[in-house]
Amino acid sequence: MIAALEQALRMALLMGWQIFWGISLGFLLSAVIEVAVPKSRVARALPDASLRSLVRATLFGTASSSCSYAAVAIARSLFRKGANFTAAIAFQFASTNLVLELGILLAVLMGWRFTLAEFAGGVLMIGILALLFRWLLRPSLLESARRQAGQGLAGKMEGHAAMSMEESEGGFWQRLLSARGVTAVSHAYIMNWTMLWKDILLGLAVAGAVSAWVPHQAWGRLFLSGHPWLAAIWGPLIAPLVAIASFTCSIGNVPLAAVLWNSGISFGGVIAFLFADLIIIPILDILRRYYGRRMMWFLLATSYAAMVAAAWLVELAFAGAGLLPRQHAARIAQLQFSFNYTAVLNLLLLALAAVLAWRFLASGGPAMLKHMAERPAESQAHRHRT
């Protein structure tokens, strides 16, 4: 038993060392975009479910946080401020499935094909979801969700949702290179780590345990890996259910996705698994509080259908283009710690993280984090200004 625990822990540590630079770089780029791209009038930019509004919602979401809890909180805030519900949910999915750090991490662990599939599939999923909303979302259900959202029941990361609506001034470079811009980047960077470190650790722990303890043959039987055509159909259907059971979300599910890929799940199954971070049980409970039980079930059913359909279409398109990986061989972990390009990048990003952490501590960052965790009504007295 002790030997098995040691093996699982070693796998988790090696995976963590392998992906640190990718996560850190992604968080840095996300922080730069968050500071330099104005967001104060996002809600007014999403007045309807037109193609223009959906494109804007997707772009705004891509430039936002990758934390699932923050994403649903910001989406609810946008909806309450007047944004169209479909556009707000499109923002929500884009801010967890189309962010830079996710793409970088997928490329590091699984290769560029998965990054391309994730982004292409994410756009497809948002489009399919918008169509399902147009066909199935009844005005009475939407009005009920609006009344429930108006009650302002707290979920998680409520303060972050409020702070994401701050006013912005100046152009891209002016905002970014000013002293206030550098401080804001340090705050956003540390905020990203604060929001996601638990998800990352949980993802690494689950991936390490699964890799060390669960035989590949067991996953192979579950994913029908011996029957390629059936596996391509079955993978996207079963993968979101595995994601729900794993409780991992945001970028924390990437290490487990790599393990599942090596264990025989289909290409589309991996993509559907990654999309399912917004239908895990804790997120569903928050959606119930935000919009009511009926809307929660509606979002679960339509989201599941959209991610399965998008995953099928992506696998079909990649197969037709000859882009499917030939082998199930994700780089889950190095065999041992060694001084290579990963070590160099990790050390460089660690040094940069130390500089940003110093700036964060010297500029009132801890107080900002305290108020980020408060409800919006409580945060109004101490809004974070950059």
| DSSP 3-state of 186 | helix
pLDDT score of 170:
56
pLDDT score, position 171: 59
Helical (H) or strand (E) element with 149: helix 139-150
pTM, two decimal places: 0.78
Does position 87 have pLDDT exceeding 70, yes or no? yes
The pLDDT tens digits of the residues spanning 65-81 come to 667 777 888 888 889 88
Query: Has residue 30 got a pLDDT over 60?
Result: yes
Give how far Cα 378 sits from Cα of 16, 39, 75, 153, 255, Å.
Answer: 36, 21, 19, 13, 36
Rg (CA), the chain: 20
Q: Quick one: pLDDT band at residue 377, thresholds 50, 70, 90?
A: very low
Q: Tell me the pLDDT tens digit for each residue of 182-196.
A: 888 888 888 778 876
DSSP single-letter state for residue 339: S
CB 72 within 8 A of CB 278: yes
Between residues 333 and 9, the one the model is more confident about: 9
The reported pLDDT for the residue numbered 165 is 36
Which of 119-128, 131-140, 355-364 shows the lowest mean pLDDT across its residues?
Answer: 355-364
Alpha-carbon distance of 385 to 74, in angstroms, equals 18
Q: Is the pLDDT of residue 236 over 90?
A: yes
Question: Quick one: DSSP state of residue 151?
Answer: T
pLDDT of residue 381: 41
**Burial degree of 141 (CB within 10 A; 0-12, 13-18, 19+):** middle
Residue 133 reports pLDDT greater than 50: yes
The number of folded domains in the chain is 1
- The mean-pLDDT minimum among 52-61, 231-240, 325-334 falls in 325-334
pLDDT of residue 378: 43
CA 221 → CA 255, 320, 342, distances in Å? 21, 26, 34
Can you give the residue range of the structural domain that contains 303? 2-382
Q: Which of 164-173, 254-263, 360-369 has the lowest mean pLDDT?
A: 164-173
Distance between the two ends of the chain, CA-based, in angstroms?
Answer: 51
Lowest average pLDDT, out of 21-25, 293-297, 317-321, goes to 21-25
Q: Is a pLDDT exceeding 60 seen at residue 168?
A: no
CA distances from 126 to 15, 45, 180, 300 (A): 31, 17, 35, 14
* DSSP one-letter code for 279: S
> pLDDT band at residue 382, thresholds of 50, 70 and 90?
very low
Q: Provide CB contacts within 8 A for 376, sequence distance 6+.
A: 77, 152, 158, 159, 161, 162
Tokens, residue 352: 């940069």
Residue 62 confidence (pLDDT): 86
Mean residue pLDDT across the chain: 81
**What mean pLDDT is predicted for residues 92-116?**
89
Distance CA 57, CA 92 (A): 8
267-282: per-residue pLDDT in tens?
999 999 999 988 988 8
